[in-house]
Structure 1
Amino acid sequence: MERESLNNTVKSLISLPFERRSYQEKVHVKERGPDQPNITIIQQSKDRGKQYTRSFSRTWFSSKAWLTACSEANALFCFPCLLFQTSGSDPAWIKTGITDLKHFSEKTKRHEQTGIHMENALRLAMFGKINISCQLDEGYRIGIRKHNEEVDKNRHILSKIIDCVKFCGAFELALRGHDESESSENPGVFRGLVDFVASLDTVLHEHLQTATVFKGTSKTVQNELLDCMLSVLRECIIGEIRSADFISIQADETMDISTQCQLVLVIRYIDKAHDVRERFFEFMPLQSATADSIATALLDRLSSILPDDQKSKLISQAYDGASVMRGNTGGVQKKVQDVYVNAHYVHCYAHQLNLIMQQVTSHIPKVRNFFSDLAGFSAFFSRSPKRTSVLDRVVAHRLPRASTVRWNFHSRAVNTVFEHKEDLLQCFETISDSGEFDPTTVREAGGFLRLLEDDSFSFFLKLFHLIMPHVDILYSQLQKRTIDPVFVQGIMQQFTDNIKKIRDSLPTLCGEHSGSVSQLAKKPRTLGPGDLQKIATEVCDTILGHAKERFAFTKHLISATLLQADRFQEYHSQFPEAALNTTMEAYPLLNKNKLKTELALIYSNDQFRSCSGAMALYQLFMGNNLQDTFSETVALLKILITTPMTTAESERCFSTLKRIKTFLRNKMTQDRLNALAMLPMEKNLIKTIPDFNHRVTEKFASLKERRAKFMYKK
């Protein structure tokens, strides 16, 4: 190889290109010049009936000093173009060689006149005469070393500032204070944190004291660092998305405190570690909350995330159930599915539960009145500190306010009033008898006193005290990120079983609240045991009926029943052919025959029957390296797990948005808003990126020309 590198033959220059040789080897090749071996090119041709014989002449080397030849290929080449091969060069002169001697003189003249040949000839002539690499001296090397040392220092300082920005972002703290001057007593959390880090780092402390070109604490630097952090995080998330087998989107829109309509986009997928991820991607400003506006924003963003050859990866879309989402012909879900055909629509199941309870609490008059009366307890005490002091002294427990966001009741209010009924009676009696309160307060306290003593109110209080814990448990389970259709079916079955038990116990419950005949005669409007049981039965039937209707799985989610472990034994006896066919209609990308074979084997094996939910079954396959054997089942499991059952993550994103808008600046660009939101919501992702600061620094250094040195020299 060493002799080859000193060789100037055409064969040597093709096998070991000039650019890959050391400087001294390049100089040696130039000194030797073009290789001009003896070659024999004889070409017979016929023109107008006459025979011609053309042959190569060595005199051509004298007239064309740039010519070189290859004895093995028996062809002619251009020496400068062979050395400095550039795009646009004629392959005949640098790769195959010239063997056709017809009009050879014209070919050489035409090649000499090309700009590429002239540029390569100039580069060859100037090579070695003005080359810094040949003139490196100790002073130059010292200069490079000092430059790189300064770059090390600047990058260290920038890394510390990046850490401070990350800290403030993770805890949603304002980056800028009201007054950031040197004499300010309250320069803001970020400046205070930088000063604290500087007290522990002598390099940063010295920099802050002496820096004149780049200090790193300005508003401009903060914004540029936020842009770079957002870019690094998005690159990481997009990389994970494109390597995942399937993805789902969750979207929700709201009007934030600055009256700007915002659409949040959350993407759900299974990462390489087989964990379910729900990544916040961005807040998108909307001109209006119409189906066209939302669909356009979503499709525009999805096109930048998924390339055209990965459109089939999007297997579901989940929204909060707004009216614009539900159109079968023109809604958002239909517009998205027209482009992404596998993106089946899933209604948020936590929102479905809200609708069920709204139906119960608003469409049954007696129940609606009960919750209206219940809300009055917290309203009564919240309007006066004097009333609250009596409540704290007697009951020692504050009444939670009714929720106006989710549904028209609050389970904590039910539980609090039920558990502290006797204390509340004493509290209202104290207010009525103390003589320290105004007539309005005494009158209202008397009303609440009579309400607590009312048999009907007490009955509904007892009834919903039994129902609400099950609603709370179901709602909390629907907020989990790892739920899947199989899991939802299981918890819904458990919920309905518990409501049925309460329904069956109603005769006993009504008997406990039956008043005497004389009491009923005095209070003709008081409900009797039969009336109470009728209303309570209607409450339970409404919950059960709407739960069955709203939580019934749509066509594409019937596939979840194929992997419902408690039915494996039943399926072993009779294979669920109809569910399999429906699954294939929803997901034609699966191999039906192989999936059926795999499922039949799973149904016949007792070991799989103990798995509770799709996630447990998926982890079993992946933990035992069975993903290749059960490839279609694993693909179906990934689809089920990736399909979101709730948009709870979207609501969490809006909570973060509200805090950011409230506690940080009132005016900020959309990119900076996304960066500020990304830092707290994806702080765990930042921790898993080992070279996060380095990647941010590289982007920061390449944004524009900077007076401070951040790029190394070699």
Structure 2
Amino acid sequence: MCPWTVIGVNDMKHLSNKIKKHECTKAHMTNTFKLAMLGKANIAAQLDQGYKISVKKHNEEVDKNRHVLSKIIDCVKFCGGFDLALRGHDEADTSDNPGVFLGLVNLLASLDSVLEDHLKTATVFKGTSKTVQNELLDCMLSVCKDYILEEVKNASYLAIQADETTDISTHCQLVLVLRYIDPHNNVQERFFEFIPLQNANADTVATALMERLGTILPDGQQGKLIAQAYDGAAVMRGAKGGVQRKVKDVYSSAHYIHCYAHQLNLIMQQATSHIPKIRTFFSDLGGFAAFFSRSFKRTAILDQVVAHRLPGTSTTRWNFHSRAVNTVYEHKENILRCFQTIRDSGDFDPITVREAGGFVRMMEDEVFCFFLTLFHKIMPHVDMLFSQLQKRNIDSVYITGLIKRFTSSIQTIRDSIPSGESSGSQQLPTKKRRGLGHEEQQLLAREVCDTILSHAKERFSFTKHLISSTLLQGDLFQQHSRTFPEAALETTVEAYPLLDKAKLKTELSLVYDNDQFRACSGAVTLLQFFLDNNLQETFTETVSLLKVLVTTPMATAEAERCFSTLKRIKTFLRNSMTQDRLNALAMLSIEKKLIRSIPDFNTRVIERFATQKERRAKFLYK
């Protein structure tokens, strides 16, 4: 026993020497070792051989149960990934069609002896019941959401995309999609969930969004939300009482973005709806596909003579109009011959003959052929722009270039239309005529092009917070190097107060003067250049601005894709499913790639499943 514990220390002058001497004693070293090992060794494990055996047996059983559960999880993932029903009509052992899920489980059992033995002998936990399926779906959804939230936590900025619709069971659903840059510097648009709504008014939608955002962005992170994208409905875009205004009142940096793909549809609708002759042209054009779709006999003649089906038209998706225009233009002679065959063959009923005769007269009409040629020139540019606007990795800088090329192409078509003898300001004659003269046709053609140009300029004009895109538009760098864009910089800093104006100006000046940066065509390319060359520490403010631009969504195309998945899931998986199960199945279907990329996904699901509640089957190791 150390004398310090009996009489204490009263010679403080030599305390340090005594401590060093004490540290070398065997008693001190023994006590130090015992303290370090305190609680580390389990006496029962050291002494009781029977306990060791029981632990080993328990862990072997856990291994087996986890293996079986992992296979069942694989089956659930497969069904969710391909939108297949989990439950069969008759799941009895004697059923010839127990459903896809049980069919997959049985197939795996024929290839896996452990799973086969489990299914034959299991009494406590078989793993194929509806309850277990739903619990596994809950766990999968939680694992995916936690992974997405972790990525959002590490992202510099976040944008949300939302849209609402009714599913096939007439329930109002709001889809929420998150856009951010992940830790690997890739732009991600992640489906987060479907939110059930009592109605689609602004207060209901805004309240639902606020509740989710409170979970996604806890206190202190509200500044991360820099953009919110919806469609053009008044409920969403209202400047005073709309959803975007209510969200912006709480998240001050969340600027509103109108979906650019929707804007393109609005432009084309405006160009065609207010001009009666053009509206009539597209109405007549839609009749081609409708005529053949009503009869197999008519379609057989179409296949025989034209060897090409006619696509229908749509008032909301202008690529359908484009396909109809191009098909009729490219196969005009054969389609005309097809209608003439139907009219003159004597094998069709009077109604069909009468309608076919009307289409023959239509296709021989000079005005119809003129507008068909005009829109055959315009539609490819609309198609190209529409397809570009549907991409995920687009940004405001890239959009600027697309719109510039689109308007330039439409202007070229407009300039190619002969002006004739009458001036552009001359009004069309009010006298009723059977057809249009050449001058009237040309006047209408120029009006169509002027409408597209004016609406493109208005609807695609960037709002205040998107003027920042011009600061990083590669084709303007040379111009900016001569005259620095002070006004755009001022507007950018006003929209995003988080940026340091003085440092950003210095960095941009260096960017404008360097030829290597000018080859970058968009914000995504430019950001990647900075990251690849480890310049993010030098150009901190420029990289921050680029991340803002890249994170800002240009379209709600991802939300539209989620709705198509919603409709498929609701069709295949019955309308009576719970909302949690719907979200889980939607996550498995939409985010298949994400699920494959999550390390040890099955293990994470099993851990959550095992700790969800007390279970009779063993899934946790000792």
State TM-score, norm by structure 1: 0.80
- Tell me how far apart the structure 1 counterparts of residues 450 and 211 of structure 2 sit (CA, whole Å): 45
Match of 1:645 among 548, 554, 558: 554
Match for 2:287: what amino acid?
G
Q: Would the alpha carbon gap of residues 705 and 409 (structure 1) be closer, same or farther in structure 2, given more than 3 Å must change? A: closer
Counterpart of 2:519 in structure 1: which amino acid?
A: S
The one-letter amino acid of 2:7's match is: N
1:408: how far off? 10
Match of 1:594 among 489, 495, 503: 503
1:409 positional shift: 6.2
Q: Cα distance, 1:665 vs. partner? A: 2.0
Q: Which amino acid aligns with 1:324?
A: V
1:365 corresponding residue in structure 2: 276
Tell me, in whole angstroms, the C-alpha distance in 2 between the residues paired with 1:40 and 1:555.
Answer: 76
1:374 aligned onto 2:285:
yes
Q: How far, CA to CA, are the matches of 2:532 and 2:2 in structure 1?
A: 59
Return the alpha-carbon distance in structure 1 between the equivalents of residues 494 and 172 of structure 2. Answer: 37
How far apart are residue 407 of structure 1 and its match? 4.9
Query: 2:6 — aligned with what?
Result: 37
Query: What's the CA shift for 1:405?
Result: 3.6
Q: 1:268 aligns with which of 174, 179, 182?
A: 179
1:9-28 matches, cutoff 5 A? none
Q: Name the residue aligned to 1:402.
A: 313
1:705 aligns with 2:610: no
CA contact (8 A) 2:468 2:489 kept: yes
Q: Give per-residue Cα distances to partners, 1:659-701, cap 9 Å, x unaligned.
A: 0000112211111100000011111111111211111000000
**Deviates further, 323-332 or 235-244:** 323-332
Shift, 1:406, TM fit: 2.9
* Map of 1:102 onto structure 2: none
Structure 2, unaligned runs of 5 or more: 11-17, 20-30, 32-38, 422-431
Q: Distance in 2 between matches of 1:316 and 1:662?
A: 33
* Alignment check: 8 A CA contact 2:203 2:243 kept: yes
Aligned residue in 2 for 1:474: 385
**CA contact under 8 A between 1:358 and 1:408: conserved in structure 2?**
no
Amino acid at match of 1:38: I
* Closer, same or farther: CA 36–263 of 1 in aligned 2, 3 Å: same
Give the counterpart of 1:338 among 244, 249, 254.
Answer: 249
User: Contact 2:77 / 2:588 at 8 angstroms: preserved in 1?
Assistant: yes
User: Residue 564 of structure 2 corresponds to which residue in structure 1?
Assistant: 655
Structure 1 position 136, deviation (Å): 3.9
Secondary structure of 2:7's match? coil
Q: Distance in 2 between matches of 1:134 and 1:309?
A: 48
Name the structure 2 match of 1:562: 471
The root-mean-square deviation of aligned C-alpha atoms, in Å, is 2.1
Aligned residue for 1:671? 580
Aligned: 1:186 with 2:155: no
Match of 2:214 among 303, 312, 325: 303
Point out the more displaced range, 596-605 or 323-332. 323-332
Q: Report deviation, 1:132.
A: 6.6
Q: Which letter does structure 1 place at the counterpart of 2:322?
A: S
**Distance in 1 (alpha carbons) for counterparts of 2:457 and 2:129:** 58
Corresponding residue of 1:86: none
**Which structure exhibits the higher relative contact order, with contacts defined as CA atoms closer than 8 Å and separated by 6 or more residues?**
2
In the alignment, residue 622 of structure 1 is paired with which amino acid? L
Pairwise CA distance, 1:36: 4.9
Q: Percent identity?
A: 70
User: 2: distance between equivalents of 1:404 and 1:468?
Assistant: 15
3-state SS of 1:263 partner: strand
Correspondences of 1:311-330 after superposition (within 5 Å)? 311-330=222-241
Q: What's the CA shift for 1:424?
A: 1.1
Question: Structure 2 vs 1, CA of residues 409 and 214 (structure 1 numbering), >3 Å: closer, same or farther?
Answer: closer
Match of 1:421 in 2: 332
Q: Is the 8 A contact 1:248 1:268 kept in 2?
A: yes
SS of the counterpart of 1:308? coil
Contact 2:161 2:229 in 1 (8 A): yes
Question: How far apart in 2 are the matches of 1:331 and 1:505?
Answer: 43
Deviation, structure 1 residue 491: 0.7
Partner AA of 1:565 in structure 2? G
Q: SS of the residue aligned with 1:531?
A: helix
Contact 1:378 1:401 in 2 (8 A): yes
Indicate the residue corresponding to 2:603 in structure 1. Answer: 694
Letter in 2 for 1:673: L
Q: Which residue of 2 aligns with 1:147?
A: 58
Does 1:631 find its partner at 2:600? no
SS of residue paired to 2:131: helix
* CA displacement 1:98-135 (0-9 Å, x = unmatched): xxxxxxxxxxxxxxxxxxxxxxxxxxxxx9xxx97288
User: 1:506-655 alignment to 2 at 5 Å?
Assistant: 506-507=417-418, 524-655=433-564
Name the SS of the counterpart of 1:627 in structure 2: coil
- Per-residue CA deviations over 1:404-444 (Å, capped at 9, x if unaligned) read 44359611111111111111111111111111111111111
Contact 2:311–2:320, Cα closer than 8 Å, also in 1: no
* Whole-Å separation in 2 of the counterparts to 1:498 and 1:661: 43
Matched to 1:460, the amino acid is: F
Partner in structure 2 of residue 99 of structure 1? none
Residue type matched to 1:309 in 2? G
- Where 1:506 maps in the other structure, the secondary structure is coil
- 3-state SS of 2:297 partner: helix
Provide the TM-score with structure 2 as the length reference: 0.91
Contact 2:265 2:316 in 1 (8 A): no
* Secondary structure of 1:230's aligned partner: helix
1:228 aligns with one of 128, 134, 139: 139
Do 2:45 and 2:51's aligned partners in 1 also have CA atoms closer than 8 Å? no
Contact map agreement 1:371 1:408 (CA 8 A) in 2: no
Residue 39 of structure 1, CA deviation: 4.2
In 2: Cα distance, 1:535 partner to 1:409 partner = 23
Pair 8,467 (structure 1): closer, same or farther in 2 beyond 3 Å: farther
In the alignment, what sits opposite 1:238? Answer: 149
1:173 match: 84
**Using a 3 Å threshold, how does the CA distance of structure 1 residues 182 and 434 change in structure 2: closer, same or farther?**
same
The reply to whether residue 505 of structure 1 matches residue 416 of structure 2 is yes
CA distance in structure 1 between the partners assigned to 2:350 and 2:569 by the alignment: 45
Report how far residue 209 of structure 1 moved.
Answer: 1.2
With 646-655 and 420-429 compared, the bigger mean Cα shift is at 420-429
Greater Cα shift, 617-626 or 700-709: 700-709
Alignment of 1:194-209 (within 5 A): 194-209=105-120
Quote the Cα distance in structure 2 between the aligned partners of 1:383 and 1:251.
Answer: 38
Distance 2:456 2:46 in 1: 83
The Cα of 1:212 is off from its aligned counterpart by 1.2
CA 1:531–1:150: 2 relative to 1, 3 Å: same
How many residue pairs were aligned?
586
**Aligned residue in 2 for 1:464:** 375
Please point out which of 440, 448, 452 is paired with 2:359.
Answer: 448
**1:408–1:682 distance in 2 versus 1, CA, 3 Å:** closer
Letter in 2 for 1:182: D
1:408 & 1:200 partners in 2: Cα distance?
47
8 Å CA contact retained: 1:342, 1:587: yes
The 8 Å contact of residues 223 and 252 in structure 2, kept in 1 or not, is answered as: yes
Q: What is the CA–CA distance in structure 2 between the aligned matches of 1:136 and 1:401, rounded to whole Å?
A: 81
Computing the radius of gyration from Cα coordinates, the structure with the larger value is 1
- 2:344 corresponds to: 433
CA distance in 1: counterparts of 2:45 and 2:66, whole angstroms = 31
Q: Does 1:486 align with 2:397?
A: yes
1:326 deviation in Å? 1.9
Structure 2 counterpart of 1:559, one-letter code = S
What letter corresponds to residue 568 of structure 1 in structure 2? F
User: For residues 8 and 469 of structure 1, what CA distance do their matches in structure 2 show?
Assistant: 95
Contact 1:261/1:288 (CA < 8 Å) preserved in 2?
yes
Q: Aligned AA for 1:189? A: V
Alpha-carbon shift at residue 141 of structure 1 (Å): 1.1
The amino acid across from 1:200 in the alignment is L
Once residues 197 and 573 of structure 2 are traced to their aligned partners in structure 1, the CA distance between those partners, rounded to angstroms, is 22
Q: Which moved more, 1:432-441 or 1:499-508?
A: 499-508
Q: What letter matches 2:586 in structure 1?
A: A
| Alpha-carbon spacing, 1:8–1:582, altered in 2? closer, same or farther (3 Å) | farther
SS at the partner of 1:252? strand
Secondary structure of the structure 2 residue equivalent to 1:507:
coil
